[in-house]
Chains A and B, each alone.
Chain A
């Protein structure tokens, strides 16, 4: 009879569930928690705490030097109002939008996709050379890259002026935004190129061939086969690149925000307000606004991603 053997089995099962959890790794909450705790602590110490600290600083009149540095006073939304009233903040915001649209959305995504598309079927030295050069621009340290670009664009001894036979032309002064947009496009295209290279590898060849047999042109193949297939990649790429570029500080290394604030993107603006003028409270308030803008951008892209079906 079945009953004779059933009860011990149940008891044994109960013991087993206590020993091994039913989750995929068989760890249970406690042990799993112990595994991730060190990582969570690091994240808390270096990401969550500074972020909260900035939020708090934004509500005080904390300064780099002087009486307010020793005993900051709580000023509520005063800093936020100061920051928003400042016309430099709005010009910086607008410049940042230009910077993001120009160097990230059009520059890096456009150029990265174009290179990936042109190299998709290629093998051999040409592909490796192009990829190598593009990736080199990405992995060099910012300080070195900035030095190279200053050397390229320098008014008197710059390589570009020598090439174009336009001695004395001050690129960084006459076209500061164009300079940092081209610079950042050059610097960051590798990421998009590699991401699209991988994404294009996932487009089934038979779908492209099917479109070709129907007589689809290159553009029609992109529109009807490639873009629908890599839509998720495009959105993820746009999200990451927009946020990175929005918070990018490296334009400072080229133009220091100048001349006359003409290339002072928000990251540079915060630096100037908080560290050069010493108004840490106001700088923190601007940072809070940047954080909010980042959140809005992220939510916008994630919504688009989710509406996939």
Chain B
């Protein structure tokens, strides 16, 4: 087991596309770390550069105490699960799991024992003679995990490990993967474009955009206090309301409504300054009755989320979304009033959190 440290890591593709721009990142020993971002943000490039599948243009990759920047992938003592699992179709499960050991010239009997031991842990023991083509998606994923575990590498890298599973299996696999990582205690970096997945599984996470890390933190920190409007808009299954506003003395003018200054921004704003007011739909208290400090408007859309509803208000031509518990959802055309929670609302100045 080892920590992973990236220093000033830069990757420029031929043709001049800068996929990674001088990244610094430390993943402590044993941590489950998520790289999250929209497609094309560089998260997969970052993972592949750690693996050595891409060569860094600048900077250093340190695994444990060893600078592996110039080391071939096979010499870095890391293991990776690919998005398509990359199981060899002509080998049975045993041979697939034991493949890295075979390359390391481990004796055949020892290989088989190790493969059987790891497979038993993942509930694959009855499938050892099957070929990958005869396995379900979930089983294939566990074989890929078993192959990684059998290597006893210093660190694991997962590239979108859940994206090839169907929705229901994905939730199961999420729980399973988190439990497994906790038990093994191996430093693990995984890439995902699904913010819910990152929030659910990671100990800490980095949100990336265009080759830069926009925020690093625990899922709670990233969810509650997004460092900038990009992260604020990207995290959360219902996007945060980001509304233009102006500071007016002790209150804020947001879309023509008088809203109180959030706790986190108290005393940090100056009169007349332009800001962006951010509040998650979950942190808006919706009511049919007028209330002080509310954002009010006509109900345009009501979306069913299961145990709650997402209500979209047209507040002076600005769209405001609020989550309303089941049973109290309004009808379209009603007038609604949404009061932000002062302790959860945020203020952004020039795109950065105040």
Which A residues contact B (CB, under 8 angstroms)? 204, 206-207, 209-216, 220, 224-225, 228-229
Contact = CB atoms under 8 A, between A and B. Distances in A.
Contacts of B308: none
A215 B100 contact: yes
Interface in B56-107: 72-75, 78-80, 82-84, 86, 88-90, 99-100, 103-104
A133 B19 CA distance: 36
Q: What are the 6 A-B residue pairs with the smallest beta carbon separation, nearest first?
A: A215-B74, A214-B100, A210-B86, A206-B86, A206-B82, A228-B90
Nearest to B157: A213
Nearest to A220: B103
Interface in B174-196: none
Nearest to B79: A213
B143 interface: no
B208 to A, nearest CB: 21
B53 interface: yes
Contacts of A214: 74, 99-100, 103-104, 151
Interface of B: 51-53, 72-75, 78-80, 82-84, 86, 88-90, 99-100, 103-104, 151
Given A209-B53, A209-B73, A228-B89, A215 B84 contact: no
Contacts of A229: 89
11 contacts: A206-B82, A207-B86, A209-B53, A210-B80, A210-B82, A213-B51, A213-B73, A213-B74, A213-B78, A215-B103, A224-B88
A216 B90 CA distance: 17
Given A204-B86, A206-B86, A224-B88, A213 B80 contact: yes
A265 B265 CA distance: 92
Contacts of B84: 204, 206
A228 B79 CA distance: 23
A213 B53 CA distance: 8
A229 B86 CA distance: 12
Task: Label chain B's interface by main secondary structure.
Answer: loop
A51 to B, nearest CB: 39
Nearest to B51: A213
Given A224-B99, A225-B88, A228-B88, A216 B82 contact: no
A206 B103 CA distance: 17
Contacts of B80: 209-210, 213
Nearest to B82: A206
Contacts of A215: 72-75, 100, 103-104
A285 B57 CA distance: 68
A212 B86 contact: no
B146 to A, nearest CB: 13
A153 to B, nearest CB: 43
A216 B86 CA distance: 15
Contacts of B88: 207, 224-225, 228
A210 B103 CA distance: 12
B191 to A, nearest CB: 13
Most chain B beta-carbon contacts within 10 A, residue among A215, A216, A220, A229? A215
B82 to A, nearest CB: 4
Most chain B beta-carbon contacts within 10 A, residue among A207, A213, A215, A229? A213
A187 B23 CA distance: 52
A212 B53 contact: yes
Given A206-B84, A224-B88, A228-B89, A216 B103 contact: yes
Given A207-B88, A225-B88, A212 B82 contact: no
Given A204-B86, A212-B74, 20 more contacts: A206-B82, A206-B86, A209-B53, A209-B80, A209-B82, A210-B86, A211-B103, A212-B53, A213-B51, A213-B53, A213-B78, A213-B80, A214-B103, A214-B151, A215-B74, A216-B74, A224-B88, A228-B88, A228-B89, A229-B89
A19 B86 CA distance: 49
A90 B73 CA distance: 55
Contacts of A211: 99, 103
B74 A206 contact: no
A224 B53 CA distance: 19
A276 B51 CA distance: 68
Nearest to A214: B100
A212 B72 contact: yes
A216 B83 CA distance: 20
A112 to B, nearest CB: 23
B142 to A, nearest CB: 16
A154 to B, nearest CB: 46
Nearest to A224: B88
A207 B96 CA distance: 11
Contacts of B86: 204, 206-207, 209-210
Most chain B beta-carbon contacts within 10 A, residue among A212, A214, A216? A214
A207 to B, nearest CB: 5
Contacts of A225: 88
Contacts of B99: 211, 214, 224
Contacts of B72: 212, 215
Contacts of B90: 228
B45 to A, nearest CB: 14
A225 B99 CA distance: 11
Nearest to B131: A309
A11 B51 CA distance: 67
A211 B89 CA distance: 13
Nearest to A228: B90
Contacts of A204: 84, 86
Contacts of A220: 103
Contacts of A213: 51-53, 73-74, 78-80, 100
A181 B19 CA distance: 50
A216 B80 CA distance: 14
Contacts of A212: 53, 72-74
A306 to B, nearest CB: 16
Contacts of A210: 80, 82, 86
Contacts of A216: 74, 103
